[in-house]
Amino acid sequence: MTEKLSNEELSKLPFMNSNLDLEKRVEDLLGRLTLKEKFKLSSGTQFFYTKPIKRLGIPNFKMTDGPHGIGPHSSNNSECTYFPVGVCRAATWNPELSEQFGVAAGQEVRDIGYHMLLGPGINIQRAPHCGRNFEYQTEDPYLNSRLAVPCVKGIQSQQIAACVKHYACNNQETNRFTCNSVVSERALQEIYLPGFKATVCEADAWSFMTCYNKVNGVYGSEHKNLIKQRLMEKWDFRGFVVSDWTATQHVKNTESCVEAGLSLEMPTAIKYKYKSMMDALNEGKFTEEMLNENIRRLLRVMFLTGIFDDPSTIPPGSRNTLEHQAVARKIAEEGIVLLKNEDNLLPLDINSIKKIAVVGPNANKKMSRGGGSSQVKPPYEIKPIEGIQEKCKGKIEIVSTPSEADVVIYVGGLNHRPHKDSEGADRKRFNLTSTHINRLNETIQENPKTIVVLISGSPIGMDWIDKVPAVIEAWYPGMEGGNAIASVLFGDVNPSGKLPITFPKKLEDSPAQIVKDLEVNYDDGIFVGYRYFDTNNIEPLFPFGHGLSYTTFTYDNLKISKDKVSGDETVKVSVDITNSGSRTGAEVVQLYVQDVDCSVERPLKELKGFKKIKLEPGAKETINLELGKEDLSFYDEKSGGWKVEPGKFNILVGSSSRDIRLQGKIEYL
Ligand code: BGC
């Protein structure tokens, strides 16, 4: 049974027949594996591969970071497109762009001959100081889901597995290997799990990566409740679960991982060493059927990615193409958020300005190669100053002294050094460093017409904000970032990004902080981000959903299809949006629901719908959204299920969570 087969013999085996039903191929191959080979497949090699089983022609299944492009550390130093980071993608509020990113990233993974992308990262941005916020999307579970689903679909459209990470409650980097996220069932259901669930139920995600931390006392890689019971049994996940790299180092033992449903231990065997596996099996600590099920899942994904198929029958892959660079630029342009624009200082008029000074610590800085496992090595990266120089070429002189300039662009913010926006450590300060604040203040003194462009993946304290007329949040905008920033500054692009997170005035205002103890109590419960600020009436610096435009939009004619609903009925909500300004622009129409009277505490409002539309000046469009029972429900800890209570609900439609333009109501009977 275990002798090596010739290529010809192999090619005749049922699992090699691509016309055969997928599950039959999986069972055929599984049935041919020896126990030893199953053990071998359970852990990785060379940091990013599974081990090959040469006898059966099973090659290495190859995985690569990361969430905004392929990482050189995981791809033999490959050059790849550097896309804007997750929070920038989320700030576009554009699911189509999420999908385009997914398609492009999938094509790049295919092009380097790999099979799985270690992303998207969709942990909720709970605490402003979390070092990996830049990789993640948002503080809101609804927005998280709506953007993660098309991203996973896009990646997998290329027969590349998405690996949704880090499951779950990996919301800080401090003590990430050992801390325990203590979180209520309601917060799990309403805040932390919906994004993960959506990628399975709506996008058929083929893989999940566990978190390093414990969730309610149990490490992610041995979390039977999270993996087996929820992900697999409740959500019907057909893919496989991989540990975060070395995440199994502190788990109880081999059998707890096997039993929980961990198929693959990465990057190498710790708990899944041959002897540990054999001993545990012999001692009856797990059954071979449990192991089979874990291996079956891994094999299924191998088949899904076409690893055993004729390469000419699978999507071909491509990398560093103009199309991918255009996607990177589009995401940057749509993700940049105009936070403040006093007296319409922006956009700058290229014809009337003579001299511009471009200063600040991030003006001339590349950002692709930092931050930890999400680093990328692009063939080029347009720095902010380069984008502005290119735009101004032959028209505006770039000077270095602010006092000489008609207008100053100060590019500051954070970077990917440890304790900034970076993996493995959280931020230490909310404000810019005192050196940078001094530099900014000096610049403002020299020339008050200073526009601040922030490069960051998380909110920054802005004590200086009243002194500057305009602020742009550009995030980490990828390899086309400098061009995208220039396009926005000079009005070639009308900004349409909206904040996917709340920007607090001061750190203490935020409901959650980084915790140094090993016990991280999520005592903010469901009151994460704007849910907390709104309910407690704390004014943020910039609210969730905020983002200005160079044009204006009016909201009229809110229509709600019925005022009373019951059972599973849905309600149609429509609203007319008019571009009432003089430039073409895009608006993100946001729909929030407010439960007027409830037996349990609920947030003042919750996002339950949105739509981004582009309108020419004067143009009007009717936006149609729909609300279902689940949009009115909360997770009821008493009954252990989702519940909607009869009573009134306000329907709020607006341009941000704190700029509600129209309001109506319905009653749930
Ligand atoms: C990170 C993961 C990453 C993995 C492989 C871990 O340290 O947490 O996000 O995919 O390394 O590089």
Which atom of ligand 1 lies closest to the CA of 119? 10
Would the pLDDT of 422 be above 70? yes
Tens-digit pLDDT profile for residues 91-129: 999 999 999 999 999 999 999 999 999 999 999 999 999
Q: How confident is the model at residue 374 (pLDDT cuts 50, 70, 90)?
A: very high
Tens-digit pLDDT profile for residues 437-456: 999 999 999 999 999 999 99
pLDDT at 1: 52
Cα 450 to Cα 373: distance, rounded to the nearest angstrom: 35
Query: What percent of the chain lies above the pLDDT cut of 90?
Result: 99
Give mean pLDDT, residues 531-535: 98
Tens-digit pLDDT profile for residues 594-648: 999 999 999 999 999 999 999 999 999 999 999 999 999 999 999 999 999 999 9
Q: How many angstroms is it from 249 CA to the middle of ligand 1?
A: 14
Please report, as a single letter, which amino acid is at residue 12. Answer: K
Q: How many angstroms is it from 164 CA to the middle of ligand 1?
A: 12
Kindly report the average pLDDT of the chain as a whole number: 98
Mutate to test the pocket of ligand 1, among 49, 211, 245 (most ligand atoms within 8 A of CB): 245
Taking phi over 0 as left and psi of -120 to 50 as alpha, with beta for the rest, 455 belongs to: beta
Q: How many angstroms is it from 134 CA to the middle of ligand 1?
A: 14
Q: Which residues of 369-405 are buried (b: 16+ CB within 10 A; e: fewer)?
A: ebbbbbbbbbeebbbbbbbbbebbeeebeebeebeeb
* Unique residue bearing structure tokens 């007296």: 343
Cα torsion angle, 515, 517, 520, 524, sign: negative
Residues contacting 61, CB < 8 A, separation 6+ = 49, 50, 115, 116, 298, 301, 302, 305, 307
Tens-digit pLDDT profile for residues 212-238: 999 999 999 999 999 999 999 999 999
Of the residues 140, 244, 534, 595, only one is catalytic, namely: 244
Would the pLDDT of 191 be above 70? yes
Binding site membership of 450 for ligand 1 (Cβ less than 6 Å)? no
Mutate to test the pocket of ligand 1, among 118, 134, 136, 422 (most ligand atoms within 8 A of CB): 118
pLDDT at 251: 98
Which atom of ligand 1 lies closest to the CA of 267? 5
Binding site membership of 373 for ligand 1 (Cβ less than 6 Å)? yes
Q: What are phi and psi of 251, to 5 degrees?
A: -65, 165
Give mean pLDDT, residues 141-153: 98
Domains located in the chain, CATH noted: 332-535 (3.40.50.1700), 553-668 (2.60.40.10)
Binding site membership of 165 for ligand 1 (Cβ less than 6 Å)? yes
Is 140 catalytic? The answer is no
Which atom of ligand 1 lies closest to the CA of 176? 8
Binding site membership of 65 for ligand 1 (Cβ less than 6 Å)? yes
Please tell me what DSSP assigns to residue 465: G
Cα 436 to Cα 419: distance, rounded to the nearest angstrom: 16
Q: How many angstroms is it from 267 CA to the middle of ligand 1?
A: 10
